[in-house]
Structure 1
Amino acid sequence: MDLVGLLAQMASIAIAPSTAAFAIAALGLNIHFGYTGLLNMGQAGFMLLGAYGFAVSVIAGLGFWPAVLISLIVVILFSMVLGIPTLKLRGDYLAIVTISAAEIVRMVGRSSVMNAITGGSNGLAGAEYRDAFNALSFLQDGQTTILWFTYDNVGVNGWWIRLVGWALVAVFVVLTWLLMRSPWGRVLKGIREDEDAVRSLGKSAYAFKMQALLLGGCLGAVAGIIYVLPSSVQPDGLGRSTTFFLWTALLLGGAATIFGPVLGSILFFAVRIFVQGVTGMVVPSGFWSSQQVEQFSWVMVGVALMLLVIFRPQGILGNKKELSFNV
């Protein structure tokens, strides 16, 4: 691969639906951690539940919008089950509960007992539920070229899913900006910095933390839907590593910032492709297999995260003043 091809591939992954899905999930995680100080270590579980709620509902014969509503309801119930017993405790208890709950969701989803509903370890094929989304498209059939990008207008990985995905990113960025400038958002920041002070002012920190958990979880559900529309619902595809990647994207862009999660998600995928491509060009042919080159790129992502936390913990767009957490 030459340098021009590598840059084109980086630009392509930057506008991919999966990147938009990660940006939405990272925005939800930002509400949890960046603004409220909730240590949610299982955002992938919210995404997987949202994906399952949508896909199973469509396959069962429901339309697109009822399926989205069911997906959100399932995640709201899941958030309440997690939050009611833990949000009155220290933040690290929520971290333990969420990472365990996400693993429970994944293991139940891939269990052979659930084959008839979730497809077990094989998951649910996108062709079984994707048509309900594509039917909403106002784009004509065929292909469209914008700059150097050429995709089907309506297809597995076409312009329609990209348009919807990034439009939702823009909507949620504006929503987050409005909420965090409101009295509600200022209470969340107060809880993050000094929960006892918020209680002394007569505010229910527990109620506000529950609301933040529900809102961030719903963003995770929407992200899960966007993530699986171009592909399929695979329980192992939304496991512990996905949560790790979301935290990487959030910390890279900057927690407690509006655009940080979006920038971090784009850079996360683009930089990994860059490392993988440069490694493939520099390392002599036959020295490493393509699989080893890909594994090396993930190693470098981990190293980059370590260096980021050590030397710039606030991320690219972050502010050290926003890093006071009461956990």
Structure 2
Amino acid sequence: MNWGQIVEQSLASLLSPATLAYALAALGLAMHFGFAGLLNMGVAGFMALGAYGYAISVLTFGLPWWTGALVGLIAAALYALLLGVPTLRLRGDYLAIATIAAAEIVRLLFLTTAFDDVTGSADGLSGFHSSFRAANPIPPGTYGLGPWTYNENGWWVRIVGILTIAVAAILVLLLTRSPWGRVLKGIREDEDAVRALGKNVFAYKMQALVVGGVITAAGGILWVMPSAVNPNSFMTSTTFFIWTALLLGGAATVFGPLLGALIFWFVRAFLGVFLTELGRAGVLPFLSNAEAAALRDVLIGVALVLIVVFRPQGILGDKKELTFAQ
């Protein structure tokens, strides 16, 4: 087997736009579940709105890339308000069912042929990168070291992604350490007690849903910046992968989701290449490329089960802060 290729592709995944996008999405989910106790299973819906809001604004209306990004974030905030009004009074499994259904509605709306001229339907959208790349201050050329070698556009996406993650992490850190964040944690532990103290629990939940949704939408925007928008990228499996990253790093933490996303994509890339090489080398001759990808996702699913059973607090988390572990 080509171990050099396996290691190189695995290490390259650490700085991929997908990894950075998942880190942002997992951080937004941490605001929902880790700090507010909202069992949001519709993460992919927020990402889809951010991605499509950005792409449609730039491609259809000719807006600058940064304006398109703002449109995507505003769309996610409005979606959070629309979603929160009828669902935030639900708890536990009922909220999970409502959010996952809402995310599927969003995906199917972008998939339908009724809005084909705007959304591209099953073909998605592409060709909206010129404005973003025109703002690139990096001189043309190839830069980097080893598996982290990219051209100027590749580095531009990654720099924007890293800066966005830094701003989002600082924002979440400040919010969760403020009196507002302490009330939010109280709601996560016992919302009836917080309500008895005179706090508007619904308003706090709504604020957390909006903040986390906007951060998650930023992940969706970052995901499509170097490539294209496809509705199949925002399926339910995407939500489960982001939950895996969150629980791996630690749900009730700020830096846990970021670490979890890095580990998740490294392991996913390693398993993908490693299992494919096992099939090609004849060690597991029944493994085709498609079967290797399926087996990789099966192993990731098993890993998620084991994480929840044996270390529900994650790598950086504190088990005392997880309501689902009590």
- TM-score (ref. length: structure 2): 0.94
Unaligned runs of 5+ in 2: none
The verdict on how the C-alpha distance between 1:203 and 1:326 changes in structure 2, with shifts beyond 3 A counting, is farther
Please say if residues 193 and 326 of structure 1, whose CA atoms lie closer than 8 Å, have aligned partners that are also in contact. Answer: no
Matching of residues 212-231 of structure 1 within 5 Å:
212-231=208-227
In the alignment of these two chains, the number of paired residues is 322
Following TM superposition, by how much is the alpha carbon of 1:315 offset from its aligned partner in structure 2, in angstroms? Answer: 1.2
- Residue 139 of structure 2 corresponds to residue 143 of structure 1: no
Q: Equivalent residue of 1:213, what SS?
A: helix
Contact 1:37–1:326 under 8 Å retained in 2: no
- Structure 2 counterpart of 1:121: 122
- The alpha-carbon distance between structure 1 residues 282 and 325, as it changes in their structure 2 partners (threshold 3 A), is closer
Sequence identity (%): 51
> Over residues 8-54 of structure 1, what are the superposed CA-to-partner deviations in whole Å (9 max), with x where a residue is unaligned?
21110011011000000000000000000001110100000111111
**Which amino acid in 2 is paired with 1:181?**
R
CA contact (8 A) 2:27 2:212 kept: yes
Deviations 1:164-201 (A, max 9, x none): 11121122112111111111111110000010111122
AA paired with 1:150? T
Structure 2 residue aligned with 1:168: 164
Three-state SS of the structure 2 residue aligned to 1:232 is coil
Distance in 2 (alpha carbons) for counterparts of 1:325 and 1:280: 36
Contact 2:43–2:103 under 8 Å retained in 1: yes
Query: Following the alignment from structure 1 to structure 2, what is the Cα–Cα distance between the partners of residues 280 and 119?
Result: 33
TM-aligned CA deviation for residue 130 of structure 1: 1.1
Q: Deviations over 1:255-312 (max 9, x none)?
A: 1011111111111111122223333444542432122112111111011111111111
**Aligned counterpart, 1:201:** 197
Instruction: Quote the RMSD (CA, aligned, Å).
Output: 1.7
Q: Which residue of 2 aligns with 1:7?
A: 7
For 2:133, the equivalent position in structure 1 comes to 134
Contact 1:39–1:95 (8 Å) recurs in 2: yes
Counterparts in 2 of 1:24-35, with a 5 A limit?
24-35=24-35
Deviation of the 1:136 alpha carbon: 1.7
3-state DSSP of counterpart to 1:150 = strand
TM-score (structure 1 length as normaliser): 0.94
CA distance, structure 2, for counterparts of residue 302 and residue 63 of structure 1: 40
Return the offset for 1:146: 2.9
Indicate yes or no: 2:41 matched with 1:45.
no
Unmatched tracts of structure 1, length 5 or more: none
Q: 1:148 to 1:63 in 2, by over 3 A?
A: closer
8 Å CA contact retained: 1:251, 1:315: yes
| Secondary structure at 2:323 match in 1 | coil
CA distance in 2, matches of 1:146, 1:65: 29
Compute the displacement of 1:148 (Å): 4.4
Whether 1:180 aligns to 2:181 is no
Tell me how far apart the structure 2 counterparts of residues 90 and 2 of structure 1 sit (CA, whole Å): 49
